[in-house]
Structure 1
Amino acid sequence: MSVIFAVCPWIVYAIVSSFTSVAVASLVSGAAALILIGLRIARGGRPAEMTIDIASAVFFIAIAVCAAATGSDLVGRYIGAASELWLALVVAIGLALSRPFTEPIASREVPPELHGTDAFRKFNVKITKAWLGSFLAAGLLILVSIAILGPEGRFATYVLIPISILVPVRYTAYLAGKERLDAVPA
């Protein structure tokens, strides 16, 4: 469910940006992210579980300010690439600090005796690296599509962003199933 919450502000942006400016759409999306963070906290969520949500709120509010200040289409043209690269940076910083963003989320899904084990930590580092690679690849591919196709290249965003989420989600599910199978005695 946390992935659904994390993606909601991006869905809001996709809808709202279709009929208003980048600045307004970003502001609305930032507000949506903050509301969702508040709802998750009210349900007992911990901020450590909301790295992507918090990063999304910061991103959209910063984009709203930049778009309002510049009043240009340039921000809108690069927002897809910027969002993916921003998330890659957030995930990379977490890894550099030995705090994979998936670990607090995964700790809700496994028995407490597994928390803090080397296997649990390695698993989370592995899937967090998958998220990092996915965000980074999507961001760079969006930039390449804009470089090649000009402003129309931003439409690659509509394909690459969902893929950048689906691939690590599926990879995580695959690894989780594999780890469970490996843990079952023969």
Structure 2
Amino acid sequence: MRGLLGFLPWIVYAFVATGDEWRWGAITGLVIAVVLVVIDRRSGKAWDEMVIESSAVVFFACLTALSLADPHSPLTPYGPALVNVWLAGTAWGSLAIRKPFTLGIARTRAPREVWDHPRFYRLNAVLTAVWAVAFTAAAIALTLVLRASLHATALVIAIKVLSFVVPAAFTAWYPGHVRRAYAE
């Protein structure tokens, strides 16, 4: 579950940012993302193991700049959707360049002899695609809910939670399923 720590800036942002105080959420997300990247680099982590963390630094730097320059931006209420748009873009982009964001993390847990195997790549492409679909679905759902001005805080929270829990559960289950399928 160490790989999920990279999502900490996003999760903290979701709790700290409110419609009126998205600046504090952005600043907090940026600080946490920078700290994670610094700690990870000092511990010898490769950049491909920190795709989500690095992406968070860029996102929260931009969001912090925007939130400070224009605190009442029309984008303010769409903060939760913007997070998922960015994460979806990160996941889909990593697939487009054939470097699924889960690949670097998986290499830290798998023996070196499987790294170049097509099944190892495919497993990580599937995992990354599941995350990408979850983020895309959440971005769309959140945009619709927020655009309709539904003050359905419970619904927004449920969408946010599901967009992390569902792919995380799949990520925990799928590698074992693949191993069992090929062991037969």
| Alpha-carbon offset, residue 23 of structure 1 | 1.8
Q: How does 1:5-154 map to 2 (within 5 A)?
A: 5-17=5-17, 21-72=21-72, 74-148=74-148, 150=149, 152=151
Contact 2:9–2:32 at 8 Å: present in 1 too? yes
| Alpha-carbon offset, residue 157 of structure 1 | 3.3
SS in 1 for 2:74: helix
Q: Per the alignment, do residues 48 and 65 of structure 1 end up closer, same or farther by CA in structure 2, a change over 3 Å counting?
A: same
- List runs of 5+ in structure 1 lacking aligned partners: none
| Alpha-carbon offset, residue 91 of structure 1 | 1.1
Contact 1:91–1:101 at 8 Å: present in 2 too? yes
TM-score, normalization: structure 1?
0.89
The residue identity in structure 2 corresponding to 1:130 is V
* In 1: Cα distance, 2:121 partner to 2:130 partner: 14
More moved, 37-46 vs 92-101: 37-46
The residue identity in structure 2 corresponding to 1:169 is A
More moved, 104-113 vs 150-159: 150-159
Deviations 1:108-151 (A, max 9, x none): 11111100111111111111110110000001000111122x16
Which residue is equivalent to 1:157?
Answer: 156
* In 2: Cα distance, 1:154 partner to 1:48 partner: 35
* In 2: Cα distance, 1:183 partner to 1:99 partner: 23
> Percent identity over the alignment?
25
The residue identity in structure 1 corresponding to 2:90 is V
Q: Per the alignment, do residues 78 and 49 of structure 1 end up closer, same or farther by CA in structure 2, a change over 3 Å counting?
A: same
| Alpha-carbon offset, residue 39 of structure 1 | 1.0
* In 1: Cα distance, 2:171 partner to 2:40 partner: 22
Q: Per the alignment, do residues 156 and 62 of structure 1 end up closer, same or farther by CA in structure 2, a change over 3 Å counting?
A: farther
Contact 1:91–1:128 at 8 Å: present in 2 too? yes
- List runs of 5+ in structure 2 lacking aligned partners: none
